[in-house]
Structure formats: C-alpha cells, structure tokens
C-alpha cells in the first residue's frame, strides 16, 4: 500500500501523523511524508524581514519542511513499513494531489483544522480541495478538540 501523508507542522497535521503511526498497515507498505512550502512573495510595500533575501526565506522554509518530514518519519517508523520524505514548493491544494497522482498513492492522509463558514471561505480548506480533486482515497483527520473537564 502507498500512503501519502501531508504534513505542515500544525496540530491537526500532528494528529494525522499520530493516526498513521498507530495503525497496523499491511506489509509491505510505504508512507511518503510530504511537506509543501508556499512561495513567499512580499507585498511591494513590505520591507523584507531583517535584511533577509527571498532566497534566505525559501531556505528557512525548506529547512523547516525537512525537519517536519524527518520528525514525522521517525514517529511512524515501524517494521514492514517503508518511509520516504518529499518536499514540494507550491500551492498545497494542487501539490498534494499532483504528488499522489505521480506516485500512484493508494491513500492520502491529511489533517484538517475544521474551519467552517467565513474562516473556511477566506482561508480555504486544503483538505476539502484534496478530497475534491484526488484520484485515490483520502482520509481527513480532524483536529482533536480539547474539552474542559
């Protein structure tokens, strides 16, 4: 089985990593952990942060994506389960779907912030876009809510 796990460092993304780690996958299975960095384009009026160039910002994003995929890989490592990592640059909505198609994934696993209404409209939903456009099964792991007890 080929499982594409998309990570972005958010709490719902960590929930998705935990869910993949806790499951018994058929042997042999491969999990490809994908992190998508979005190109940073500052508004024309914005001064680039503390003298950093756009290339410096991209390098920091790539380093963070590398850290995220490595940590997720360490978390889900198990006998009979191969783990690969990949980093893409672009819009996560399309990059996740394209990566799954190119790799011929059987399943995509993504976390969801669970936004609704105006927030979802303004911020968009990566999980909803992946579900709508993927050519394989998609599992959306909802962010765990912390209940007051």
pLDDT score for 29: 94
Burial of 130 (0-12, 13-18, 19+ CB in 10 A): buried
Is there a cis peptide before residue 101, judged by omega within 30 degrees of 0?
no
The predicted-structure confidence for 8-44, as pLDDT tens digits, reads as follows 998 889 999 999 999 999 989 999 999 999 887 666 5
pLDDT score for 92: 93
pLDDT score for 55: 81
Looking at the chain, the whole-number percentage of residues with pLDDT higher than 90 is: 60
Query: Residue 47 above 70 pLDDT?
Result: no
The predicted-structure confidence for 101-126, as pLDDT tens digits, reads as follows 999 999 999 998 655 554 444 445 88
| Integer CA distances (angstroms), 67 to 10, 87, 122, in order | 13, 11, 29
Query: Residue 1 above 50 pLDDT?
Result: yes
Strand ranges inside the chain, DSSP E: 2-6, 29-37, 81-89, 107-112, 137-142
Average pLDDT over residues 69-89: 93
CATH fourth-level superfamily of 2-142: HUPs (3.40.50.620)
């Amino acid at each position: 089985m080929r499982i594409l796990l998309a990570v972005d460092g958010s709490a719902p993304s960590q929930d998705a990593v935990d869910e993949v780690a806790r499951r018994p996958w058929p042997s042999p299975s491969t999990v490809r952990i994908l992190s998508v960095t979005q190109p940073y384009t500052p508004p024309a009026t914005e001064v680039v942060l503390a003298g950093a160039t756009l290339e410096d910002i991209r390098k920091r994003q790539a380093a963070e994506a590398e850290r995220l995929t490595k940590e997720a890989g360490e978390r889900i490592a198990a006998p009979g389960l191969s783990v690969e990592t990949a980093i893409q640059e672009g819009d996560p909505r399309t990059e996740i779907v394209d990566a799954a198609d190119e790799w011929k994934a059987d399943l995509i696993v993504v976390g969801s912030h669970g936004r609704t209404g105006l927030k979802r409209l303004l911020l968009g939903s990566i999980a909803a876009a992946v579900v709508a456009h993927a050519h394989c099964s998609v599992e959306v792991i909802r962010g765990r809510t912390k209940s007051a007890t």
